[in-house]
Amino acid sequence: MDYYPEVMTTTPWLSVVIPVFRAQHSIAQAISSVTSQGVEGIEVICVDDCSPDNSADVITSLQPTVPMLTLIRHTTNQGPGPARNSGVDAATGDYIVFLDADDSLIDGGLRQLQNTIQQLPDMVLVSSEETRRGKTKSLTQGALQEALSRTPVTNVSAEPRILFWPPAPWSKVYRREFLLTRSLRLGEGVAQDIPWSAGVTLAADTVSLCDAPFYRYVTSVEDSSITTTKSEKNLVRVAQVRAIRESYDVGALSPRVGSHLSALAAIHLIWSNRAAYRLLPDASHEKFFNESSTELQAWLALHPIPADLDCSQLMRPAEQEIYTSALARGDWSQWQRTLARQAKKKALRRFFRPRRRSRGK
């Protein structure tokens, strides 16, 4: 099947699912980033997750001028995972893109996606970038993207590094039939993207890369979830990593895939513990560390991480090795000393970073 406007039927080839909560100032721009690309055959499904602001009114006002714009309303707030599931249930497109209401799709990406899905892969990895404080950086550029750009179709057995692609639901495009036949659903609560990303990557028989700028992730310093969710509920991040291990027969995976998955679990746990001062009340830090250490030890017992495994897509290899070793020991005092040493090294790297010379000097 060809996915081009001149051969389109009334059935959309793509469904863009947008979970909406407190997005009255950004939702119109998010929708516009889809419709302004001039690509036909796309439905946009907004799921109002019982938002207390005027987000739903903004969407309703756009419906007369935006073809195939649908609004679904939740009567209670359920969170972004269930909101995305509601969008998938309502979708009719062959492929599904998740778009957060304060982010946008990059112009030109949808046409490149049309080219990518000609071979009907189960999942498409998309290039993304982050905009923060007015500065933009790529989240996916590197050796992995270069390797994937030379391989039209792959899967986790052939290229286990795809487990290290950014874990956000919006970092991938999914064939709807693949999600439905595998009964793949997003979970509830904080960090639900951790088991989701690992699960869809392990399940996909065919994976392709949309090798063009596609998704822009916008981080608002004031409204960032990292800075506004300092509570005990973030303890669930360990449970989300555990869910991967308990939901899949991890021990039966090949050593190559299993070691990459162990490395991914380690990195998620390291990230969460390094950010504990922002995520958790002070009294919970040591408890979170101990739970993380126990979980990491369970992973390493199944699949040890080789010293030469390339995790550079997500973390500097040297840092990953140091932090993994410190966390696996289960020594809280040692972990705190490791954090302090690494922070000092990072500060020194910044201090001694060569300054660029001005032009003409």
CB-CB contact of 14 with 110 (8 Å): yes
224 falls within a domain: no
Global pTM value: 0.90
Residue 171 in contact with residue 198, Cβ under 8 Å?
no
Length reported for the chain: 361
Give the single-character DSSP code of 361.
Answer: -
Residues 64 and 26 in one domain: yes
Domain final residue, candidates 186, 219, 252: 219
The reply to whether 3 falls in a domain is no
Residue ending a domain, among 163, 196, 219, is 219
Phi-psi region of 125 (alpha: psi -120 to 50; beta: other; left: phi over 0): beta
Same domain, residue pair 209 and 265: no
Would you call 173 exposed, middle or buried from its count of C-beta atoms within 10 A (0-12, 13-18, 19+)?
A: buried
- Any domain includes 113: yes
Q: Span 268-295, mean pLDDT?
A: 94
Query: Which residues does residue 131 pair with via DSSP β-bridges, in sequence order?
Result: 136, 218
Burial of 332 (0-12, 13-18, 19+ CB in 10 A): middle
Q: What string of DSSP letters covers 135-196?
A: EEEESS-SHHHHHHHT-SSB-TTT-GGGGGS--SGGGEEEEHHHHHHTT----SSTTTHHHH
One domain for residues 26 and 83: yes
Query: What residues make up the domain containing 197?
Result: 8-219
Model pLDDT for residues 306-331, shown as the tens digit of each residue: 989 988 888 888 888 899 999 999 99
Domain membership flag for residue 356: no
Domain assignment present for 102: yes
What pLDDT, in 10s, does the model give residues 288-301?
999 999 999 999 99
In a shared domain, residues 63 and 149:
yes
Mean per-residue pLDDT, 32-59: 97
Q: Give me the number of domains the chain comprises.
A: 2
In whole angstroms, what separates CA 187 from the centre of its chain?
Answer: 14
Enter the tokens of residue 49.
Answer: 């997750």
Question: What is the predicted pLDDT for the residue at 233?
Answer: 87
User: Could you give the C-alpha distances from 251 to 258, 299, 301, in angstroms and in order?
Assistant: 7, 9, 9
Residue ending a domain, among 170, 192, 219, is 219
Identify each DSSP E strand in the chain by its residue range. Answer: 14-20, 42-48, 69-73, 95-98, 104-105, 123-132, 135-138, 172-175, 207-219
Domain co-membership, 286 together with 215: no
Give the model's pLDDT for residue 70.
98
Indicate whether 201 and 243 sit together in one domain.
no
- Is residue 359 situated within a structural domain? no
- Asked whether residue 90 is domain-assigned, the answer is yes
* Degrees to nearest 5, angle at CA 308 with 304 and 313: 95
Q: Torsions phi, psi of 105, nearest 5? A: -90, 140
pLDDT digits (tens, 9 = 90+) for 135-165: 899 999 888 999 999 999 999 999 999 999 9
CATH number for the domain harbouring residue 78: 3.90.550.10
Give the three-state DSSP class for 290: helix
Q: Give yes or no: residues 89 and 193 share one domain.
A: yes
Look up residue 303 and give its amino acid.
H
Amino acid at 312: S
- What's the pLDDT score for residue 190? 86
pLDDT confidence band for 350 (50 / 70 / 90): low
DSSP for residue 54: S
Q: Is 57 exposed, middle or buried (0-12, 13-18, 19+ CB in 10 A)?
A: exposed
> Nearest 5 degrees, angle CA 274-CA 280-CA 283?
105
205 and 342 housed in the same domain:
no
Instruction: Answer yes or no: is 200 within a domain.
Output: yes
Q: Sign (positive/negative) of CA torsion 82, 195, 273, 350?
A: negative
Same-domain status, 186 and 159: yes
215 and 257 inside one domain: no
Identify the pLDDT of residue 166: 93
234 and 214 in a common domain: no
Angle between the N-to-C axes of helices 27-35 and 55-62, in degrees from 0 to 180, rounded to the nearest 10: 30
Cα–Cα distance for residue pair 236/193, rounded to 1 Å:
12
